Structure 1
Amino acid sequence: MTQIPMTLRGAEKLREELQHLKSVLRPQIIAAIAEAREHGDLKENAEYHAAREQQGFCEGRIQEIESKLSHAQIIDVTKIANKGIVIFGATVTVLNTHSEEKKIYQIVGDDEANFKKDLISVNSPIARGLIAKKISDVAVIHTPGGEVEYEILDVKYC
Protein backbone atom coordinates (compact mmCIF):
# COMPACT_ATOMS: atom_id res chain seq x y z
CA MET A 1 0.00 0.00 0.00
CA THR A 2 1.25 3.48 -0.78
CA GLN A 3 1.82 6.10 1.85
CA ILE A 4 -1.12 8.30 2.81
CA PRO A 5 -0.31 11.99 3.32
CA MET A 6 -1.62 13.27 6.63
CA THR A 7 -1.12 16.38 8.71
CA LEU A 8 0.12 16.17 12.27
CA ARG A 9 -3.33 17.20 13.52
CA GLY A 10 -5.05 14.57 11.37
CA ALA A 11 -2.81 11.80 12.69
CA GLU A 12 -3.45 12.92 16.26
CA LYS A 13 -7.23 12.83 15.73
CA LEU A 14 -6.99 9.29 14.36
CA ARG A 15 -4.87 8.22 17.34
CA GLU A 16 -7.44 9.71 19.73
CA GLU A 17 -10.27 7.90 17.96
CA LEU A 18 -8.31 4.64 18.05
CA GLN A 19 -7.64 5.07 21.77
CA HIS A 20 -11.35 5.72 22.41
CA LEU A 21 -12.40 2.69 20.39
CA LYS A 22 -9.96 0.38 22.15
CA SER A 23 -10.26 1.65 25.72
CA VAL A 24 -13.90 2.76 25.94
CA LEU A 25 -16.11 1.38 23.19
CA ARG A 26 -14.61 -2.11 22.87
CA PRO A 27 -15.00 -2.91 26.62
CA GLN A 28 -18.58 -1.57 26.55
CA ILE A 29 -19.44 -3.84 23.63
CA ILE A 30 -17.82 -6.86 25.30
CA ALA A 31 -19.86 -6.18 28.44
CA ALA A 32 -23.05 -5.83 26.36
CA ILE A 33 -22.36 -9.17 24.65
CA ALA A 34 -21.74 -10.87 27.99
CA GLU A 35 -24.94 -9.43 29.43
CA ALA A 36 -26.95 -10.47 26.37
CA ARG A 37 -25.57 -14.03 26.59
CA GLU A 38 -26.94 -14.29 30.11
CA HIS A 39 -30.46 -13.85 28.74
CA GLY A 40 -30.38 -17.33 27.26
CA ASP A 41 -31.17 -18.49 23.72
CA LEU A 42 -28.85 -16.64 21.33
CA LYS A 43 -30.90 -17.43 18.21
CA GLU A 44 -33.72 -15.10 19.20
CA ASN A 45 -31.70 -12.67 21.30
CA ALA A 46 -31.88 -9.28 19.54
CA GLU A 47 -29.62 -7.61 22.11
CA TYR A 48 -26.92 -10.18 21.48
CA HIS A 49 -27.10 -9.80 17.70
CA ALA A 50 -27.08 -6.00 17.94
CA ALA A 51 -24.03 -6.07 20.21
CA ARG A 52 -22.22 -8.48 17.89
CA GLU A 53 -22.98 -6.23 14.92
CA GLN A 54 -21.68 -3.22 16.83
CA GLN A 55 -18.57 -5.22 17.70
CA GLY A 56 -17.99 -5.93 14.01
CA PHE A 57 -18.22 -2.24 13.13
CA CYS A 58 -15.91 -1.29 15.99
CA GLU A 59 -13.27 -3.89 15.11
CA GLY A 60 -13.47 -2.91 11.44
CA ARG A 61 -12.89 0.75 12.29
CA ILE A 62 -9.97 -0.17 14.57
CA GLN A 63 -8.35 -2.13 11.74
CA GLU A 64 -8.98 0.71 9.27
CA ILE A 65 -7.40 3.33 11.55
CA GLU A 66 -4.41 1.12 12.37
CA SER A 67 -3.84 0.54 8.66
CA LYS A 68 -4.06 4.25 7.85
CA LEU A 69 -1.67 5.17 10.64
CA SER A 70 0.80 2.48 9.63
CA HIS A 71 0.83 3.81 6.07
CA ALA A 72 0.66 7.49 6.99
CA GLN A 73 3.23 9.95 5.80
CA ILE A 74 2.83 12.54 8.53
CA ILE A 75 3.81 15.98 7.31
CA ASP A 76 4.53 18.77 9.77
CA VAL A 77 4.35 21.93 7.67
CA THR A 78 5.59 24.09 10.54
CA LYS A 79 9.05 22.61 9.97
CA ILE A 80 9.09 23.57 6.29
CA ALA A 81 10.56 26.92 5.27
CA ASN A 82 7.79 29.16 3.95
CA LYS A 83 8.65 30.07 0.40
CA GLY A 84 5.14 31.19 -0.49
CA ILE A 85 4.43 28.04 -2.49
CA VAL A 86 1.23 26.07 -1.98
CA ILE A 87 2.03 22.60 -0.66
CA PHE A 88 0.26 19.86 1.27
CA GLY A 89 -0.72 21.17 4.70
CA ALA A 90 -0.53 24.83 3.70
CA THR A 91 -3.27 27.28 4.55
CA VAL A 92 -4.07 29.30 1.44
CA THR A 93 -6.00 32.54 1.14
CA VAL A 94 -7.53 32.88 -2.31
CA LEU A 95 -9.69 35.39 -4.11
CA ASN A 96 -12.29 34.24 -6.61
CA THR A 97 -11.56 36.60 -9.52
CA HIS A 98 -15.17 36.49 -10.74
CA SER A 99 -17.12 36.94 -7.50
CA GLU A 100 -14.39 38.80 -5.54
CA GLU A 101 -15.04 36.38 -2.67
CA LYS A 102 -12.10 35.58 -0.38
CA LYS A 103 -11.72 32.05 0.97
CA ILE A 104 -9.17 30.40 3.22
CA TYR A 105 -8.48 26.72 2.63
CA GLN A 106 -6.12 24.27 4.28
CA ILE A 107 -4.94 21.41 2.09
CA VAL A 108 -5.16 18.18 4.09
CA GLY A 109 -5.33 14.41 3.62
CA ASP A 110 -8.46 12.65 2.41
CA ASP A 111 -9.54 11.56 5.91
CA GLU A 112 -9.18 15.05 7.32
CA ALA A 113 -11.11 16.85 4.59
CA ASN A 114 -14.20 18.78 5.67
CA PHE A 115 -15.37 21.33 3.12
CA LYS A 116 -17.64 23.04 5.67
CA LYS A 117 -14.54 23.79 7.75
CA ASP A 118 -12.53 24.77 4.64
CA LEU A 119 -10.29 21.71 4.96
CA ILE A 120 -9.90 20.45 1.41
CA SER A 121 -8.49 17.12 0.33
CA VAL A 122 -5.16 17.14 -1.45
CA ASN A 123 -6.95 15.13 -4.16
CA SER A 124 -9.77 17.65 -4.67
CA PRO A 125 -9.92 19.72 -7.86
CA ILE A 126 -9.31 22.93 -5.91
CA ALA A 127 -6.23 21.60 -4.11
CA ARG A 128 -4.81 20.04 -7.28
CA GLY A 129 -5.17 23.39 -9.00
CA LEU A 130 -3.51 25.31 -6.16
CA ILE A 131 -0.57 22.98 -5.43
CA ALA A 132 2.80 24.40 -6.55
CA LYS A 133 1.38 27.87 -7.20
CA LYS A 134 2.86 30.98 -5.55
CA ILE A 135 1.45 34.15 -4.04
CA SER A 136 -0.14 36.35 -6.75
CA ASP A 137 -0.47 33.41 -9.18
CA VAL A 138 -3.89 32.77 -10.67
CA ALA A 139 -5.04 29.16 -10.56
CA VAL A 140 -7.69 27.98 -12.98
CA ILE A 141 -9.72 25.27 -11.28
CA HIS A 142 -11.78 22.88 -13.38
CA THR A 143 -14.90 22.02 -11.39
CA PRO A 144 -18.10 20.21 -12.37
CA GLY A 145 -19.78 23.63 -12.51
CA GLY A 146 -17.17 25.06 -14.88
CA GLU A 147 -13.87 26.86 -14.55
CA VAL A 148 -13.15 29.05 -11.54
CA GLU A 149 -10.15 31.36 -11.24
CA TYR A 150 -8.52 31.92 -7.87
CA GLU A 151 -5.79 34.44 -7.21
CA ILE A 152 -3.51 33.32 -4.40
CA LEU A 153 -3.26 36.09 -1.82
CA ASP A 154 -1.38 34.37 0.99
CA VAL A 155 0.21 31.04 1.91
CA LYS A 156 0.87 30.02 5.51
CA TYR A 157 2.44 26.89 6.93
CA CYS A 158 0.83 26.50 10.34
Structure 2
Amino acid sequence: MEVKVTPTGVRLIQQNIESLKSDLKYIREEKNIAYTLCGDTWHDNPHFNKLEQDEKLLNKRIQEVEKILASAVQVELDKRDTETVQLGSIVRCFCEYPDFEEEEIYEIVGYGESNLEENKLFYDSPVAKNLIGLSVGQEASFETPGGRTVYRIIEMYSDWEEAKSKQV
Protein backbone atom coordinates (compact mmCIF):
# COMPACT_ATOMS: atom_id res chain seq x y z
CA MET A 1 0.00 0.00 0.00
CA GLU A 2 1.29 3.44 -0.91
CA VAL A 3 1.56 5.68 2.15
CA LYS A 4 0.93 9.41 1.79
CA VAL A 5 2.46 11.95 4.17
CA THR A 6 2.27 15.70 4.41
CA PRO A 7 5.21 17.87 5.53
CA THR A 8 3.66 17.90 9.02
CA GLY A 9 3.45 14.11 8.92
CA VAL A 10 7.13 13.83 7.95
CA ARG A 11 8.06 16.00 10.93
CA LEU A 12 5.87 13.97 13.32
CA ILE A 13 7.25 10.66 12.02
CA GLN A 14 10.82 11.91 12.41
CA GLN A 15 10.03 12.98 15.99
CA ASN A 16 8.56 9.53 16.63
CA ILE A 17 11.72 7.86 15.29
CA GLU A 18 13.90 10.05 17.53
CA SER A 19 11.73 9.19 20.53
CA LEU A 20 11.98 5.47 19.74
CA LYS A 21 15.77 5.77 19.39
CA SER A 22 15.93 7.53 22.75
CA ASP A 23 13.91 4.70 24.32
CA LEU A 24 16.25 2.19 22.67
CA LYS A 25 19.30 3.95 24.09
CA TYR A 26 17.78 3.80 27.57
CA ILE A 27 16.96 0.09 27.22
CA ARG A 28 20.49 -0.67 26.06
CA GLU A 29 21.93 1.19 29.06
CA GLU A 30 19.64 -0.76 31.40
CA LYS A 31 20.56 -4.00 29.65
CA ASN A 32 24.28 -3.28 30.12
CA ILE A 33 23.71 -2.60 33.82
CA ALA A 34 21.68 -5.81 34.20
CA TYR A 35 24.39 -7.78 32.39
CA THR A 36 27.13 -6.35 34.60
CA LEU A 37 25.18 -7.05 37.79
CA CYS A 38 24.37 -10.66 36.99
CA GLY A 39 27.72 -11.68 35.47
CA ASP A 40 27.74 -15.15 33.94
CA THR A 41 24.15 -15.84 34.95
CA TRP A 42 22.67 -13.20 32.62
CA HIS A 43 20.74 -15.85 30.70
CA ASP A 44 18.85 -16.77 33.91
CA ASN A 45 17.98 -13.16 34.73
CA PRO A 46 14.35 -12.38 33.74
CA HIS A 47 14.99 -8.62 33.86
CA PHE A 48 17.89 -8.93 31.40
CA ASN A 49 15.84 -11.20 29.13
CA LYS A 50 12.91 -8.73 29.13
CA LEU A 51 15.24 -5.87 28.26
CA GLU A 52 16.69 -7.95 25.43
CA GLN A 53 13.20 -8.64 24.06
CA ASP A 54 12.26 -4.95 24.39
CA GLU A 55 15.44 -4.01 22.51
CA LYS A 56 14.59 -6.36 19.63
CA LEU A 57 11.00 -5.05 19.42
CA LEU A 58 12.12 -1.41 19.41
CA ASN A 59 14.77 -2.09 16.77
CA LYS A 60 12.13 -3.73 14.59
CA ARG A 61 9.67 -0.85 15.11
CA ILE A 62 12.34 1.76 14.26
CA GLN A 63 13.21 -0.11 11.06
CA GLU A 64 9.53 -0.37 10.09
CA VAL A 65 8.86 3.34 10.60
CA GLU A 66 12.06 4.37 8.79
CA LYS A 67 11.12 2.11 5.88
CA ILE A 68 7.62 3.63 5.70
CA LEU A 69 9.05 7.15 5.77
CA ALA A 70 11.63 6.34 3.08
CA SER A 71 8.99 4.95 0.70
CA ALA A 72 6.20 7.42 1.51
CA VAL A 73 4.77 9.76 -1.10
CA GLN A 74 4.93 13.34 0.11
CA VAL A 75 1.81 15.38 -0.56
CA GLU A 76 2.05 19.17 -0.49
CA LEU A 77 -1.01 20.99 0.82
CA ASP A 78 -0.45 24.47 -0.58
CA LYS A 79 -4.18 25.07 -0.93
CA ARG A 80 -6.96 22.95 0.52
CA ASP A 81 -9.71 21.79 -1.79
CA THR A 82 -13.02 23.16 -0.50
CA GLU A 83 -15.09 21.45 -3.18
CA THR A 84 -14.32 17.72 -2.79
CA VAL A 85 -13.12 15.88 0.31
CA GLN A 86 -9.56 14.62 -0.04
CA LEU A 87 -6.31 14.41 1.90
CA GLY A 88 -5.96 17.75 3.70
CA SER A 89 -9.65 18.63 3.67
CA ILE A 90 -11.31 20.13 6.74
CA VAL A 91 -15.01 19.24 6.77
CA ARG A 92 -18.02 19.82 8.99
CA CYS A 93 -20.22 16.73 9.08
CA PHE A 94 -23.63 16.00 10.46
CA CYS A 95 -23.21 12.52 11.93
CA GLU A 96 -26.19 10.24 12.49
CA TYR A 97 -25.37 7.31 14.75
CA PRO A 98 -27.84 4.61 15.82
CA ASP A 99 -28.25 6.22 19.27
CA PHE A 100 -27.59 9.93 18.72
CA GLU A 101 -26.71 12.71 16.28
CA GLU A 102 -23.96 15.34 16.36
CA GLU A 103 -21.97 17.77 14.25
CA GLU A 104 -18.21 17.33 14.05
CA ILE A 105 -15.36 18.98 12.18
CA TYR A 106 -12.70 16.62 10.86
CA GLU A 107 -9.43 17.04 9.02
CA ILE A 108 -8.35 14.25 6.71
CA VAL A 109 -4.62 13.77 7.36
CA GLY A 110 -1.72 11.68 6.13
CA TYR A 111 0.16 8.84 7.77
CA GLY A 112 1.50 9.63 11.23
CA GLU A 113 -0.77 12.63 11.82
CA SER A 114 -4.01 11.11 13.07
CA ASN A 115 -5.19 12.34 16.45
CA LEU A 116 -8.78 11.68 17.47
CA GLU A 117 -8.66 14.28 20.25
CA GLU A 118 -7.94 16.92 17.58
CA ASN A 119 -10.43 15.36 15.10
CA LYS A 120 -7.65 14.45 12.67
CA LEU A 121 -8.57 11.30 10.74
CA PHE A 122 -6.04 9.17 8.86
CA TYR A 123 -7.07 9.10 5.18
CA ASP A 124 -7.15 5.28 5.26
CA SER A 125 -9.46 5.08 8.31
CA PRO A 126 -13.00 3.76 7.74
CA VAL A 127 -14.69 7.15 8.26
CA ALA A 128 -12.21 9.08 6.11
CA LYS A 129 -12.41 6.48 3.32
CA ASN A 130 -16.17 7.01 3.19
CA LEU A 131 -15.86 10.82 3.17
CA ILE A 132 -13.17 11.10 0.49
CA GLY A 133 -14.65 12.09 -2.85
CA LEU A 134 -17.82 13.64 -1.40
CA SER A 135 -18.88 17.27 -1.82
CA VAL A 136 -21.00 19.59 0.33
CA GLY A 137 -24.52 18.18 0.67
CA GLN A 138 -23.49 14.60 -0.11
CA GLU A 139 -23.55 11.83 2.45
CA ALA A 140 -21.93 8.49 3.16
CA SER A 141 -23.77 5.67 4.85
CA PHE A 142 -21.81 2.73 6.22
CA GLU A 143 -21.89 -0.02 8.82
CA THR A 144 -19.97 0.32 12.06
CA PRO A 145 -19.79 -2.07 15.00
CA GLY A 146 -22.54 0.05 16.63
CA GLY A 147 -24.82 -0.07 13.58
CA ARG A 148 -25.49 1.97 10.44
CA THR A 149 -23.94 5.43 10.49
CA VAL A 150 -24.56 8.36 8.13
CA TYR A 151 -22.16 11.29 7.64
CA ARG A 152 -23.41 14.30 5.64
CA ILE A 153 -20.95 16.98 4.50
CA ILE A 154 -22.29 20.35 5.67
CA GLU A 155 -19.37 22.64 4.91
CA MET A 156 -15.68 22.58 3.93
CA TYR A 157 -13.00 25.00 5.10
CA SER A 158 -9.69 26.31 3.81
CA ASP A 159 -8.10 26.23 7.30
CA TRP A 160 -8.82 25.55 10.98
CA GLU A 161 -9.18 29.25 11.82
CA GLU A 162 -12.07 29.53 9.38
CA ALA A 163 -13.62 26.32 10.75
CA LYS A 164 -13.35 27.51 14.37
CA SER A 165 -14.75 30.97 13.54
CA LYS A 166 -17.89 29.35 12.11
CA GLN A 167 -18.50 26.90 14.96
CA VAL A 168 -21.96 27.00 16.43
- Report the TM range for the smaller structure's normalisation: 0.7 to 0.9
Distance 2:17 2:138 in 1: 40
After superposition, the C-alpha distances for 1:44-94 in whole angstroms (9 at most, x for unaligned) are 1122112111111210111111011012122232x1363422111211112
Specify the alignment match of 1:28 in structure 2.
Answer: 26
After superposition, the C-alpha distances for 1:98-154 in whole angstroms (9 at most, x for unaligned) are 96632101112354334343222322333223212223x221221221141413312
Distance 1:91 1:106 in 2: 4
Specify the alignment match of 1:49 in structure 2.
Answer: 49
Matched, 1:151 2:153: yes
Q: 1:81 to 1:94 in 2, by over 3 A?
A: closer
Asked if 1 retains the 8 angstrom alpha-carbon contact of 2:4 and 2:72, the reply is yes
Q: 1:61 to 1:149 in 2, by over 3 A?
A: closer
After superposition, the C-alpha distances for 1:8-67 in whole angstroms (9 at most, x for unaligned) are 222211100111222x22222222121111121112112211211111121011111101
Specify the alignment match of 2:2 in structure 1.
Answer: 3
Structure 2 residues without counterparts, runs of 5 or longer: 161-168
Distance 1:119 1:16 in 2: 18
Q: 1:43 to 1:148 in 2, by over 3 A?
A: same
Specify the alignment match of 2:165 in structure 1.
Answer: none
Q: Give the aligned CA root-mean-square deviation in angstroms.
A: 2.5
Q: Name the TM-score, length of structure 1 as normaliser.
A: 0.81
Identity of aligned residues (%): 23
Asked if 1 retains the 8 angstrom alpha-carbon contact of 2:110 and 2:123, the reply is yes
Asked if 1 retains the 8 angstrom alpha-carbon contact of 2:82 and 2:158, the reply is no
What amino acid does structure 2 have at the position aligned with 1:155? Y
Structure ranking higher in helix proportion: 2
Within 5 A, what are the aligned runs for 1:11-22?
11-22=10-21
Distance 1:140 1:153 in 2: 14
Q: 1:108 to 1:143 in 2, by over 3 A?
A: farther
What amino acid does structure 2 have at the position aligned with 1:58? L
Q: Which region of structure 1 is more displaced relative to structure 2, 97-106 or 122-131? A: 97-106
Asked if 1 retains the 8 angstrom alpha-carbon contact of 2:135 and 2:153, the reply is no
Asked if 1 retains the 8 angstrom alpha-carbon contact of 2:115 and 2:121, the reply is yes
Distance 1:119 1:91 in 2: 9
Q: How many residues align?
A: 154
Q: Name the TM-score, length of structure 2 as normaliser.
A: 0.77
Q: 1:143 to 1:113 in 2, by over 3 A?
A: farther
Distance 1:65 1:49 in 2: 25
Asked if 1 retains the 8 angstrom alpha-carbon contact of 2:12 and 2:112, the reply is no
Structure 1 residues without counterparts, runs of 5 or longer: none
